[in-house]
Structure 1
Amino acid sequence: MPSLLLASQSPRRKALLTETGFSFTATASGASEVLKDSVSPSQAVEELAYRKAQAVFDAHPDHVVLGADTVVALQGHILGKPETKEEARRMLRDLSSRSHQVFTGVAILSRARKVVFHEETEVRFQTLDEKLLEAYISSSEPYDKAGGYGIQAKGRLFVQSIHGDYFNVVGLPICRTVRALQSFHIYPSI
């Protein structure tokens, strides 16, 4: 049976795969995440997921390699990870009272085949309370997450509704990923 390598050090992706019952090893890919400005969110996540998976696969060609990338998009514009309080404040205020999309691209590579896809989930924020917003951006949570929030943590306080795969917003569309991994003869322990 082939072994699974996760081309990511994301604690959220590692937790999702572990909780689902997969046995795997995680390794950072080191792949470039620079893209052209004209690329759409869905193209961006597929390209980045593929780059990450390919970089790890090149070093470990006897494994099945899973790469993933997640972005938050508002009106087609990709929101990155905020680096400062000002960036986090601006991003979260932009998301306040609006719907946005979360895209995760997944690439799975082996010697025999490759599968690349993306999942899209719509998330709507409530109107953000300024006191709550300031407390949130003063925490460490917004700064390593696309769009400046983590739905699986304190960022859930802002979410009014979600349409689509919740786990996609966390960082990996589990249901679709499990189906894709089955085609590589990789199964979770239940």
Structure 2
Amino acid sequence: MVLKNLEKYQLVLASMSPRRQKLLSDLGLEFKVVDAGVEESYPEELGMTAIPEFLAELKANAIKEKLQENEILITADTIVWKDDKVIGKPENKEDAIRILNELSGSQHQVITGMCVQSTSKKYCFHAVTEVWFDKLSDDEIQFYVDSHKPFDKAGAYGIQEWIGYVGIEKIDGSFYNVMGLPIHKLYQYLKKF
């Protein structure tokens, strides 16, 4: 393990997202997975970066009482932000098509809020990535939704999937943040334990 300071800790990832689990695993870290089991609601007056941080902290607060002294809890929440509003996960196929039409040919932000905490330390932070989509045809959107079923993804897309290959013109910021875990930033915070 590269992060020798983590040898005395058990990492706990409170996320059922297979993408977050894969990214953390690819970092070479061992961890256990738990479900925070909270309803993801937030005060309406919160802004772009405050919303995902609030939700990450909400998840952390739901679990922190069970946290052992040798554990580090990792929670995260990712939102898509466009035109001063949150674009969430699609409710169904029609909603996914609507969302992708809204993102097509324009720019949006992907923000992940994170909390990393032990019984003695706590860090909450966020990462923002700007994403530019090319104009997508109806056939491209239909094909993607039918073949990848992006119903568990904020913004109705996964950058690492087909639509990312053909539809994303450029990004400014962390690619992995768009996948749901700003892994570089997380690594820097894990060094602090």
TM-score of the superposed pair, with normalisation by structure 1: 0.93
Q: Does the CA-based 8 Å contact 1:32-1:51 persist in structure 2?
A: no
Amino acid at match of 1:166: F
Q: Does the CA-based 8 Å contact 1:70-1:105 persist in structure 2?
A: yes
Give CA-to-partner distance per residue, 1:7-39, whole Å, 9 cap, x none.
111100000000111111111111221112222
1:131 and 2:134 equivalent? no
Question: For structure 1, which segment, 137-146 or 126-135, has the greater mean C-alpha deviation from structure 2 after superposition?
Answer: 137-146
Which structure 2 residues correspond to residues 38-187 of structure 1 after superposition, within 5 A?
38-62=45-69, 63-156=71-164, 157-184=166-193
1:32 to 32, 35, 39: 39
Tell me the SS of whatever aligns to 1:139. Answer: helix
Question: Which whole-Å CA distance do the structure 2 matches of 1:64 and 1:116 have between them?
Answer: 13
Amino acid at match of 1:175: H
Aligned equivalent of 1:188? none
Question: For structure 1, which segment, 157-166 or 138-147, has the greater mean C-alpha deviation from structure 2 after superposition?
Answer: 138-147
After TM superposition, give the deviation of residue 140 of structure 1 in Å: 4.3
Question: Which whole-Å CA distance do the structure 2 matches of 1:57 and 1:140 have between them?
Answer: 35
Which structure 2 residues correspond to residues 9-20 of structure 1 after superposition, within 5 A?
9-20=16-27
Amino acid at match of 2:169: Q
Amino acid at match of 1:182: K
Q: Over the residues paired in the alignment, what is the CA RMSD in angstroms?
A: 1.1
> Which stretches of structure 1, 4 residues or longer, exceed 4 Å deviation after superposition?
none
- Uncovered stretches (5+) of structure 1, i.e. residues with no partner: 185-190
After TM superposition, give the deviation of residue 51 of structure 1 in Å: 1.3
Q: Does the CA-based 8 Å contact 1:54-1:109 persist in structure 2?
A: no
Give CA-to-partner distance per residue, 1:110-134, whole Å, 9 cap, x none.
1111000000000000000111111
Identity of aligned residues (%): 38
Question: For structure 1, which segment, 103-112 or 49-58, has the greater mean C-alpha deviation from structure 2 after superposition?
Answer: 49-58
Question: For structure 1, which segment, 56-65 or 66-75, has the greater mean C-alpha deviation from structure 2 after superposition?
Answer: 56-65
TM-score of the superposed pair, with normalisation by structure 2: 0.91
Amino acid at match of 2:152: D
Question: Which whole-Å CA distance do the structure 2 matches of 1:112 and 1:35 have between them?
Answer: 26
Aligned positions, number: 184
Tell me the SS of whatever aligns to 1:41. Answer: coil
Aligned equivalent of 1:187? none
Q: Does the CA-based 8 Å contact 2:110-2:129 persist in structure 1?
A: yes
Q: Does the CA-based 8 Å contact 2:78-2:110 persist in structure 1?
A: yes
